[in-house]
Structure 1
Amino acid sequence: MASSSEVRAILDLPSSSSATPAALQKKLSVPSARKPDGISRELFSLIGPSSTTLVAQLAKPRLKQKPNLGAGSKIKWEWRTFKNGARTDSLELRHWIKASADPEAEYPFAKYNVQRPTYTYSQDEYTRHLEDSEWTKEETDYLMNIVHEYDTRWYIIHDRYDYPGGAQRSMEDLKDRYCSVCRKLIRNRPWAGDENSKNVLLSSFSFDKEREVLRKRYITSLENRTPEQIAEEEALYMEIKRLEQNERRFKRERDDLLRTIAGIESGLPDIVEDEMQLTGVSSSDPKRSKKKGGGDLLDSPSTPLLSTPLARARPNMPPKNSAYALQHCITRIEQPPVGAGSSATKAAHQPAYLRSFKLPFPKAAIAQKVTQALTELGVSHARLVMPTQGNVALLEALLDATASLVDTKEDGDADGDGEGEDGRAQSVVSTRSARSRKHNRRSLSISSVETSATVSTRAGTKRQRRS
C-alpha cells in the first residue's frame, strides 16, 4: 500500500514536510543521455539511446592520429653570412641556417656550378692550325672570352657580341668559328684518354652551319604561310595518308593472293606455309618493281601498268618459245586460217574460260563410290591447287580409271562368276559408253554452238544405248 508521500508525489502535490518541491523534483528526475555525434537531435529524441547500431552507422569516421614530428624538441635557426665557393669575387650573402651547423662548412649548392672546359691556345698553335681569312686572332680571342663569360649561352652571346671594327656576325657564324677552333685543338693536341672518349668530345662540338641556316629559313617560311597554303598542305597530307592506306590494303590483298596461289589456303595437309616462299614469289615478279635512276619505284595501285594509253599501245609481250611457255604454264592455241571463200563466224571463235570450270566430275550414279575410293587413297578431286593443263589431264585420267574400276566391280557383283566372257564384254561396253558420256559432258563450252553440239552428242549416245 502506497504511503501519503508517494501519493502526493504522483499527484504533484506539495509535501507536508519541510522539503521544497524543487528539491523533490530534482530527486525524482532521470538523468538524460548525451546525444552522440553523427545523428540529429530530433532523430535521437525519437529512437532514444538504446539503438546503438544506427548510431554506429551515422557516426563520423575517425582519422588517423597525426604523427609526432619531434614537436617536443625545438630547432634553433640563425641568420648567418656565407661565401659561395663558385664565385671569384668577395661577395658575402646571408641566409637562415641551423644553429648546430658548422659555420666553416662549404656552401652545399656550389657543386652545381659546372663549367665547360675553356680552350686556350698559343701564338704558335694559332699560326699552324687556327688561321682563317675571315677571322683575325684578336677577334677570335674576343669570341673565346665572351663565350667563356656567358657560359656558351648563344642567344646572350650574340646579343652582347660587339667587336670594335669587326664585321657583322650572325649566331651561326659565331658558333661555327668557336666549334671549329675547339675541334682543331682537340685533334692536334696529345690525348691522354682512349679514342672513344675523344670521338665523343669531338661529336659534342660538331656543327653544320649550312644545315642550321636552312633549318631556320624553313621555320621562317612555315611561320609566314598564308591560310590558302596551310589548307593546301592539309589536303596533300590527307591524300598521302589515303595513298598509304590504299597501299597497305593492296599489299594485304596481294599477300592473300600469293597464299592462294601457293596453295596455303587450299586446306590440303601436305602444304606447309613458308614465308620465304611467299617472299620469293613476290620478289621474283618482274612487274612488281622497276629500276630507274638507281632507285626502286614500286607500282602504285592508283596507276597500274596498263592504265595509260602509252602502255596499252606498247605492251611487253613475252617471247614465243616453247621453253618460256613450259616454264610459265602457257598454252597457245593457233587460230584456224580464214580462207578467201570462208568468213569468220561464231563457230570459229573460242571464248575465254577458266580451266577450273572445266574440271571433270564423275557420274551422279557412282559419284559417291568414286569419291569414297579416292578418299581411301588420300586424293581430293573437289579442288585443284594448281589447275594447269597437265594437272587437269591427270585428274581426268584418274577419275576415268576410278569410274572404270567402280563399274567393273558393280558389273561383277551383279552378274556373278557364271557369266564368263559375256559379262566381261558387257562391262567393257558399259565402261566405254561411260567414257564417251564423260567426254561429251567434259567438252561443254559457253558458246551456244558448242552447247548445241554437246546436246546432239548426248542424244546420239542415248539412242545408241537404247538400240
Structure 2
Amino acid sequence: MTSHDVRDMLDLPGEAAPRPIKKAKLTGPRPVLKGLAREVQNLGGDNPIAIVPETTTFKKKRFGSRKPAAKWENQSFRNSAREDETLVLKHWRRKAESPAVAPGDEGTAAPNEVKLEDSTFAKYNVKVITAEYNDEQYQKHLLSEDWSRDETDYLVSMVRDYDMRWPVIWDRYEYQPPAITLDPQAAELAIVTASKPRTLEDLKARYYSVAATMMKVHKAPETMVAAEYELMEKMASFNPQQEAQRKLFAEAAFQRTREEAREEESLLIELKRILARSEKLSEERRELYARLDAPASTGNIGVFTTSQGLQQLLQQLMQADKTKKRKSLMGPDGTSPAGPSGLNQQASFDRRDSTVRGESISGPSGTNNKKGPSQGQTERRQLSAEEEILYGVRHFDRITSSGPAFRAERINKPITSKSSIQQQKMLSVLTELGIPHRLIMPTYAVGEAFDHLLTNINLLLEQRKVTEKIQSEINTILAIKKQKEEEAESKQILRQPEAVSGSGDVKVEEVEREKSAAPSINGRKRSASVMSAVSESTKRQKK
C-alpha cells in the first residue's frame, strides 16, 4: 500500500501541500540593563523595556595637572667598581631644581666645584675579604721555609682577584721568582731561580694557614663568635694529603664500571649483615656475662617446687622480658618452650626471625622495607678543655638537693647568711681591698674567685676573733701572776727580822704605806682576797 492509496481512502488530494516554515527562535542574549531589578526586567517579556540608563562618567581631561614637562640633562658620574679613577661616564637624569641662593651669599659659593655621583651598580662589586699583614707580623708569625714573602703576597693577591675560586687560581697561578743580580751594572748576569710547581692543595694549605694565623693575631679566640671560631678551626686543621686522597677516591669512584659498582654494593650488603650478626652476638654475650656475674640467690626456692610457683616464676620472667628488647620466652603460639614441641617451635621461630631480619637489611640500598633507611647513632664531638672554657661547659657529678639556683644568689649567700655585724665587717674588708660589693660581670670564673675571697675573709675574721680572745686570756693570766708575785714579796718583807729598832706601830705604818703605794696592778684594783690576806698578816704582826 502506497501513500496514494491512503490518500484515496481518506478522500485527500493526491499531492501533499508543502510543510510550513518554522519561525527561527531568537537565541541571542537578552540585553542586561544595569540599575533595574530582575523582576522589573521580566515584566517586559520578549520585548525589553526601552529605558536608556543615564551615563554619569565622562572622558577625563588629557592635561588635568597642567604642569610643565620635566627637564632632563646629561649628567656625569663615576664608577667606583672600576680601577680607572679618571674614567667619567654620562647618563640622562631628571634635572633637579637648583636651591635658591640667599642675598649676600653669591660670593661664598665655590665656582667649578662639582661632585660626581657614584654609579648605582657599584654596590654589586663585592670583593672577598683576604688576610692582611705587615712586615713585622710576617716576620713574627708567617715565616716558612717553603714559601717566600714575595710568593705569599702573590698568592694573596690571586685569591683577592679571583674571589677564592681555587680551580681558576690554580689555572692562572704563574709565579716567577725575582732575579738575583750580583752586579747591578750587568743585567745579563742576573740569576733567575726556577719556580716550584704548586698543586691546588699546596695553595689552599698556605693561604688557610696564613688566614687562620692572622685571625688569631687580630682577634683573640676567646672574643670570637661561634661562626668565626668555627671558620678559624676549619682553616687551621686543613690537611692537604687528606684532601688529595679524597679527590683520588672520588675520581676512582667516578670511573668505575657497572660490574665494579654491583660488586661494591654486594660487599656493602654483606658488611651490614656481618655487623648486624656481630651486634646480636655481642648482646647475647653481655647477657650471658650478666647472668654469670649475678650474685647467688639467698632466698627460699621452696615456693617454686609446685606447678603454681613455676607458673608464677614464668609470669615474672615474661614481665621482665617485656622491658628488654629480647626474644620472648613464649613461643609464637603462646605456649611455653619447656617441652620438646616447645623447643622445636622456638627453634623454628628463631630461624624465621633471623631470615626475616636478613631479608630486611639485604635490599639494594640496605634499607628496611617497613621502617625505611636505618639511622645510625650520631657521634657527638668531644670538646677539648679550651673549648669547654670558651663555651662555658661544665660537668656535674650530681645535682644538689636544693636544685638549680641563680649564680647571684650563690655569690651573695656567704654575706647574707651572716649576722649584721659580720656583714658590716666583711663589707668593710671588701671596701678596703677596692672590690665592689656587687659584681659587674658575674661569670662562672669570677663567681668562683669571689666566693673563694669571701671564704678567706670569713676565715680571717674568725681567726681575728679567736686571737683577740686568746690575747685577753693571756693578759688576765699575766695580771694574776704579777699580783701573786707582789703578794709573795710583801709576805717576805713582813717575815724578815727587825733591822731597825722601833715599835710595832712603825712597822704597821710601813705596811700601810706599802698598801697605799701599790693599790693596783696594771691599772686594775686589788681583789678582796689580796686585801684580806694583807690585813691578816698585819694583825699577826701586831700580836
TM-score (norm 2): 0.33
